[in-house]
Chains A and B, each alone.
Chain A
């Protein structure tokens, strides 16, 4: 009753669709059929087998197939086919014991470790790690020697070594689900820990456990055969490993005796492996990489003047400068992604421009296409993204028809990029010095000493007072504001004529935000760059921009001087964005501080032109 308010339909729904989706994979279906055949052979062995598996007929020692013995006889004169069928029983019986043992040990421990964390997690994880670092074969042989070769006990011991696999996967799942709000809700509602574990957690780990079981069964069958191959197990119970050993001993003279059990073992393990891998594909959705043909298709659709599924072929936005005066000019830019449901256009015909020394703001909420526009200009769209444009000019040069290698050559030299999230944009494995010096040396051709000197100089310029310490630091050792200054330093150190900054202050503390904007403005004026700032915040626009482009749903809805747009927004969406920024307290403060000077600078520059 207590669980009523929480999603209870999750598992059944998923199970049905998972099975259905599974049956659409030909490889998976074949593997499943093979496994079912093996299971059927094992179950029906007493009826299917033509002979008693242990019945010795001296006539058929090493016999070739024939005379009612479909696969011939082994070195003791027993019917190979019958032994194979009975061997399947042993094999599957052992695999089931192993999987159940591994499951019972690994899953509860993993779920508890992931759910409770702390000491439970540390102790369980240590045990799991320890188990994984023991060469299990020695221990298994000891167990086999001691327990009078009792098969179930041996398979349980094997299951113990399989438990870490279950443990790791259920721990990871439990940790992920632990953070989900519905678990908190259940706890707040008074559902006890054991109950949460039983109902919610078990449901969450269900699918990965199925995958893990398929893989574990495959490995267990292999190890079981290995042990039998070494002579472990009762001689009167036929097993594939034992048959392989028998065949191995007469391999040179009668290779077929080895062949049959090897095929049985290989096919069964491969079937389990393919079942596991198909299931894993279905639940983890390994992202399909778009191939060249898919990209070409997207490009074609985007460029088409009238495409059925992509309406609105008009360009939006406008140009205010002559082409030769522009640091950046974009004409009719479209960006699209290939999805399962056709092509999704995220930028639909955008035109804009910016002159040297000008600050252009691209404003919109998330999903408006503002970031996609800036990545398309840089030619740094995420994989799967495709851009077409009637023209893109960077420092007066048309670049949209260039090869991707030539476009890449513009980066860092003609056009620079300042990202949004400072810490995730520095490589955690290298020092700041390496990350600043590497492009200076290998892109801009400076010597090692010159590059170092220039890196230090730029760091000082972006307001870092102890450049030596920062240069020697790794990214995790510096603050977010510091990291953003480093990134700005990296972006301007190549003196680009256009600087694209994508939400450069969003991830920073309020106090740091104003400083970083101030720095960007100073650098922009000092180097005479065109600065394109992508933001959702009109406070930032008011603070720093000269002109602004307002985007919504991949199109420009309004463009104009900042002052004019603040005074009289022509589009209701713009007015909405402005008032939303004013509601935001931080934005309000910035606006109050930034409004007067920004306005003055913007006006002054406008007059100068």
Chain B
């Protein structure tokens, strides 16, 4: 078990390093000289040189990379090339907003998706099952921001149940916070709900056909108890999808945040990519990948707990 944890952690750290270096060099190649973006086209050559010296862009790329990664390892993401504020401070303000939305959406997907999956798995071919199939086809492909535009028009503008835009910190008002993240979360979660439900439903039916289920029934176990066994065996694939969804939701949140005007990482990503603020972009990348690695690590732990065979691989 310990070696299992160590292996997974190591692989996560490796992924973090690879993705961060990849993004770093990609950004350097793609953006090139950042000064036009940062200063605008009217800046003089002297102003550009001064800025390049100030942000250390005149050093070799590898030196800059080493500088960034050695500081990032200690949690210091440097300062923005635009505002010269510490990147960490901006992230500390922005990440909780995005995380509220994404975690809430993931919870919705988990709870509703599992309930729907079980209900459909117990009655395959039923009304709910056919409905789920139809919904999963459409909602899987429709982008979150499209759904959010529909939801905003309907629930915020027509019915006025929820605020159309803006974010309320939970420190200010918990109910305000919940109501400000409900619509963004729901628009992100819809696709994930049907994916988790469909996955669980299919896994459920697959496990139901396995020999041991017949044997469990032959022992006289009640339907509810047999279902518990089936569910546990069917859960790994649904959990894996849920973890994948989390990654997808982090990306989807960037656009949804702009629709709902939430001060999350979305608009920060957009603005810093447009002006070429590489330290901010790198901070955003690192933080999101850390969350992805953490979620995948958690997933591996849960999978190992659900099915002990996994631990010995």
Contacts and interface: CB of A to CB of B under 8 A. Distances in A.
Nearest to A277: B137
Given A426-B212, A427-B212, A476-B308, 15 more contacts: A141-B269, A142-B23, A145-B37, A146-B31, A146-B276, A226-B143, A266-B146, A269-B141, A274-B137, A409-B220, A412-B221, A417-B215, A438-B225, A442-B225, A474-B308
Nearest to B270: A230
A143 interface: yes
A145 B270 CA distance: 9
A398 interface: no
A145 B309 contact: no
Interface residues of B, number: 74
A218 B143 CA distance: 9
A92 interface: no
Q: Which one of B142, B149, B150, B220 has the greatest number of beta carbons of chain A within 10 Å?
A: B220
Given A137-B269, A289-B124, A427-B229, A273 B141 contact: yes
A248 interface: yes
24 contacts: A132-B244, A133-B247, A135-B247, A138-B251, A142-B30, A146-B29, A146-B32, A222-B143, A225-B143, A226-B143, A229-B258, A248-B259, A269-B138, A270-B142, A380-B218, A408-B223, A419-B218, A424-B212, A427-B233, A428-B233, A429-B233, A476-B308, A476-B309, A491-B218
B157 A252 contact: yes
Interface string B246-270: 0100111011001100000000011
Interface in A131-160: 132-139, 141-147
Contact of A412 (B218, B284, B289): B218
Given A378-B218, A429-B229, A429-B306, A230 B142 contact: no
A556 interface: no
B158 to A, nearest CB: 10
B145 A226 contact: yes
B309 A428 contact: yes
A411 B19 CA distance: 56
Contact of A138 (B140, B215, B244, B281): B281
A429 B307 contact: yes
B218 A215 contact: no
B153 A251 contact: yes
Contacts, number: 222
Nearest to A474: B308
Contact of A222 (B142, B218, B254, B289): B142
Determine the main DSSP class of B at the interface with A.
helix
Contacts of B149: 244, 248, 251, 258, 262
Contacts of A487: 215
A219 B258 CA distance: 20
Given A222-B146, A416-B218, A141 B309 contact: no
A443 B307 CA distance: 25
Contact of A143 (B26, B37, B252, B296): B26
B27 interface: yes
A223 interface: yes
A265 to B, nearest CB: 6
A463 interface: no
Nearest to A289: B125
Q: Which one of B208, B219, B233 has the greatest number of beta carbons of chain A within 10 Å?
A: B219
Given A270-B141, A277-B137, A138 B212 contact: no
A382 interface: yes
Interface string B31-63: 110000100000000000000000000000000
A490 interface: yes
A136 B248 CA distance: 8
Given A439-B221, A443-B221, A288 B143 contact: no
B15 interface: yes
A137 B251 contact: yes
Contact of A272 (B141, B152, B215, B281): B141
B77 to A, nearest CB: 14
A291 B127 CA distance: 11
Given A135-B288, A222-B143, A425 B220 contact: no
Given A143-B30, A491-B218, A262 B150 contact: yes
Contacts of B312: 476
The 6 closest A-B pairs by CB, nearest first: A146-B30, A412-B220, A222-B143, A289-B125, A218-B141, A417-B218
Contacts of B138: 269-270, 273-274
